[in-house]
Amino acid sequence: MATVDELIQDAKTRMAKSVEHARSEFATVRTGRASASLLDRIEVSYYGTPTPLRQLATINVPEPRLLTVQPFDPSSIRAIEKAIQESDLGLTPSNDGKVIRLPIPQLTEERRKELVKVVRHLAEEHRVAVREIRRDALRHLRELVDSGEVGADEEHRGEVRVQELTDEHTKQIDELLKHKEAEVMEV
Question: pLDDT tens for residues 11-37?
Answer: 999 999 999 999 988 887 767 677 788
Look at the alpha carbons of 171, 177, 179, 181 in this order and tell me if their dihedral is positive or negative: negative
What separation in angstroms does the CA of 152 have from each of 49, 79, 148, 162?
55, 61, 10, 15
What band does 179 get if pLDDT is binned at 50, 70 and 90?
A: very high
**What are the phi and psi torsion angles at 60 (to 5°)?**
-125, 160
Domains of the chain: 4-27+108-185 (1.10.132.20), 36-103 (3.30.1360.40)
pLDDT in tens, 35-91: 788 888 889 988 889 999 889 999 998 988 888 999 999 889 999 998 988 877 778
pLDDT in tens, 100-155: 998 888 878 888 888 888 889 999 999 999 999 999 999 999 999 898 888 888 88
Comparing 5 with 32, which gets the higher pLDDT? 5
- Residue 87: per-residue pLDDT: 79
